[in-house]
Structure 1
Amino acid sequence: MTTTEAPRIDHEHPDVTGGWLRPAVFGAMDGLVSNAALIAGVAGGTRGAADSSAVVLAGLAGLAAGAFSMAAGEYASVASQSEAAEREIAVERREIERNGPAEESELAAMYVAKGLSPELAAEVAREIHRDVDNAVAVHAQEELGVDPDDLASPAVAAGSSFAAFAVGAAVPVLPYVLGLDSLLLAVVLTLVALFACGAVVSRVTSRSWWYGGGRQALLGGLAFAATYAVGTAVGTAV
């Protein structure tokens, strides 16, 4: 007697919908670019100054202000998004409880649109609607694109954003804190960090690591150059 084994699945998908990935990536990138650009602008406007205290102060202030601002913004944004999803899920639950047959027919029609036969779609919808909680979860995923049991956490998003921004923003100011008065070193460190971040992020995208890293470094470099030019022009004017 021979047995037929089910084909093996040899791949796994990373978490691309959790509440930490987007704010962490955005926070790190923003911290690197915004603080390096801020430092470049201040350095360009204070050329010839006796020391680099203005650059250090601007860099540390930019780190603190940006990290708290990012955390507050992410918390409010994700909380609002989750609350809106919870409201729509509650609406769906009421409809299923009040008018189950119509909701069951609606779900069956969705499955028909996806390629199931009307008979099989009706049977699947009927089985799903045997349990209200299960029906709510399936309708939420099909109609709203959300999982009621896996909504993004505002606290996780805020914490991820705060930590990532702080780490990213610390990179360009680090040489000055260590007493190395070198804008070039700060920019080089930031570009390397941007390239590394872009390369890491490319692992969950369709882009190659060198494209993702190079794109982030290029955009960051353009931001530094533009802000340095503005700082130089303003510093010369005043």
Structure 2
Amino acid sequence: MSTTAHTSGHEHRDVTGGWLRPAVFGAMDGLVSNFALIAGVAGGGVKPSVVVLAGLAGLASGAFSMGVGEYVSVASQADLARAEIEVERRELDRHPQAELAELTDRLVALGVEREVAAEAARQISRDPRQALRVHARDELGVEPGRLPSPLLAGVSSFLAFSVGAVLPVIPYLLGASALWPAALVAAAGLFGAGALVAQVTARPWWFSGLRQLAFGAAAAAVTYLVGSLIGVAAL
């Protein structure tokens, strides 16, 4: 993960790369949704081969859905950001004095003395690219030229979902005929994924792991109950 260094010696992780959120969400979704699917099918009393088929089908459909959905979502967001950046660019070209006054007022609102703010705004505005960068970051919350990559987000989501979704299927692929081995693997994966996420957040690792495990267990329990109530005899 890339970092931004400061002269004071500390660094910040890159929070604008566009891969962490889809990767984390994809892995969690793959684990929870596919294990819940397997639990529901297994609860219906079907053969293990049917559970494997359901699990692999859920993996394939979910991974493509997540990847494509994430790509389109990030691409649409980036297109909107570029359009708004272009609006800001035109405003800087057509109304430079008004934009200069606007930047001065924002600096004053941050606590800078007006004379100093006016001079700082004037110096920033001498470079059109720097002026656009400052205005876009302040008004839109985006950095021109550093928008999240739709391809990176889509691929991250696809791969992460696939990894998460395949975990509960592995015991069946290795010959298991009952749900409990898949449940153990899924539980370990859910706890581990939650604990891993805690490494890039302020949450304790055990809290994040247990929280994710509880959510996944609840989803699987509900679908298993539904599968048990319906059963293959009702189909």
For the superposition of Structure 1 and Structure 2, which TM-score range results when normalised by the shorter chain?
over 0.9
2:207 and 2:23 map into 1 onto residues whose CA distance is 20
From 90, 93, 96, the equivalent of 1:97 is 93
Q: Does 1:163 align with 2:162?
A: no
1:204 and 1:114 map into 2 onto residues whose CA distance is 29
CA contact (8 A) 2:16 2:147 kept: no
- Which residue pairs with 1:20 in the alignment? 19
CA contact (8 A) 2:42 2:51 kept: yes
Which moves more between the two structures, 191-200 or 168-177? 191-200
- State the Cα deviation string for residues 178-231 of structure 1 (Å, max 9, x = none): 111231111111111111111111122221111111100110000110110011
1:145 and 1:134 map into 2 onto residues whose CA distance is 15
CA contact (8 A) 1:16 1:204 kept: no
Question: After superposition, where does 1:68-87 map in structure 2 within 5 Å?
Answer: 68-87=64-83
- Which residue pairs with 1:128 in the alignment? 124
- Which residue pairs with 1:186 in the alignment? 182
Structure 1 unaligned runs (5+)?
1-6
3-state SS in 2 of match to 1:115 = coil
- Which residue pairs with 2:3 in the alignment? none
CA contact (8 A) 1:108 1:121 kept: yes
Q: CA deviation at 1:10?
A: 4.2
Structure 2 unaligned runs (5+)?
1-5
Q: CA deviation at 1:83?
A: 0.2
From 211, 215, 221, the equivalent of 1:215 is 211
3-state SS in 2 of match to 1:13 = strand
Structure 1: which amino acid aligns with 2:22? P
Structure 2: which amino acid aligns with 1:104? L
1:221 and 1:177 map into 2 onto residues whose CA distance is 22
Structure 1: which amino acid aligns with 2:57? A
Structure 1: which amino acid aligns with 2:146? D
| Moved beyond 6 Å, runs of 4+ | none
1:32 and 1:21 map into 2 onto residues whose CA distance is 17
The alignment yields a C-alpha RMSD, in angstroms, of 1.3
The alpha-carbon distance between structure 1 residues 143 and 8, as it changes in their structure 2 partners (threshold 3 A), is closer
